[in-house]
Amino acid sequence: MGLRVKFLEAIRADSEKAYEFGFKTAVKDENAILRKDTANKKFEIEWDLVDQEAMDVATHSQMITDDYFTSTNQQAKQVIAESFAEQRSIPKTVEALRSVLNQETWKLERLARTNIINASNEGRLAGYEKVSAKRQQLYDQGKITKKPKEDKYTLIVAFGSRTCDAHRELAGKIPAGGLTLDKLKELQISIGARHGMTLSGNSLLHANQRTVISRVV
C-alpha cells in the first residue's frame, strides 16, 4: 500500500507540474500579443485559483487506477503458486518474480509518461481557452479592435523509429491552417479506429506516443 501511494503521489506531482507548465507556456506568447493589441505594457493573463482547481480535476481524473497494482499482485501470487506446485528452487522463483516486476514497472513508466504528457497538453489547451475568452471580452469592451477568430489547433508529432503508423498518418492529414478542436478530435478518432486504438483526452494520446497540442496563429 505504501509503495502504491508513493507511485501515485509522484505521478500526480509531476502531472500537476506538467499541467501548469503547459498552461503558462501557452499563455506566455499570447500575453505579449495582447499587450500590443491593448497598448497596455502591463497587461497579463495570470494563473489563478480557478486554473488551480481545473488542474486538480484534470490531473486527478486521469490518474492510474488500482488495476495496475491488482494485476501486479495477482501475477506475483500466480508465480508463487506455480513455483510451489512445480517445486521450483528459491532462486528460480525469485527470478520469475523479478521478471513480473520488471514487466509491470515498464508498463507503469509508459502509463506515467502518458499521464504527464496528457497533463501538459490539457494545461496548454486550458491556457489557450482562457486567452480566447479574455480576447473576446476585450473585444466586446472595445479595448481591442481586431475581431477574434475561431481557434484552430494542430498536433506536433515527434517523429522517430518508435512513432506509430497512426500518428504518422495523423501528421500528414492535419491542414497547415489547423482544425477546430472538435474537428481535430474527429480526425484522430477516425484514424485511431483504423489502427485499433482507444483514444482519450483533448490531445487523444496513447501510451508511449509524444504529441503536443498547439494553437495555430
Q: How far is CA 39 from CA 79, 102, 212, in A?
A: 68, 57, 31
- Look up residue 184 and give its amino acid: L
In the 3-class helix/strand/coil scheme, how is the chain assigned residue by residue? CHHHHHHHHHHHHHHHHHHHHHHHHHHHHHHHHHHHHHCCCCCCCCCCHHHHHHHHHHHHHCCCCHHHHHHHHHHHHHHHHHHHHCCCCHHHHHHHHHHHHHHHHHHHHHHHHHHHHHHHHHHHHHHHHHHHHHHHHHHHCCCCCCCCCCCEEEEEECCCCCCCHHHHHHHHHCCCCCECHHHHHHHHHHHHHHCCCCCECCCCECCCCCEEEEEEC
Please compute the mean of the pLDDT values over residues 45-72 and round it to a whole number.
Answer: 73
CA atoms within 13 A on the CB side of 83: 16
* Residue 201 · residue 62 · CB < 8 Å: yes
Q: What is the pLDDT of residue 196?
A: 80
Query: Residue 101 class from Cβ within 10 Å (0-12 exposed, 13-18 middle, 19+ buried)?
Result: middle
CA atoms within 13 A on the CB side of 100: 19
Chain segment 110-126, per-residue pLDDT in tens: 677 777 888 888 888 89
Please compute the mean of the pLDDT values over residues 157-176 and round it to a whole number.
Answer: 84
CA atoms within 13 A on the CB side of 28: 9
Question: Above 60 in pLDDT, residue 65?
Answer: no
Q: What is the pLDDT of residue 187?
A: 87
* Domain ranges (residues) in the chain: 1-147, 149-217
Question: Above 70 in pLDDT, residue 148?
Answer: yes
CA angle 200, 174, 15 (to 5 degrees): 35
* Residue 37 · residue 60 · CB < 8 Å: no
Q: What is the pLDDT of residue 32?
A: 87
Q: What is the pLDDT of residue 30?
A: 84
Q: What is the pLDDT of residue 139?
A: 92
Of 207, 214, 208, residue with least CA distance to 123 = 214
C-alpha cell at 142: 472595445
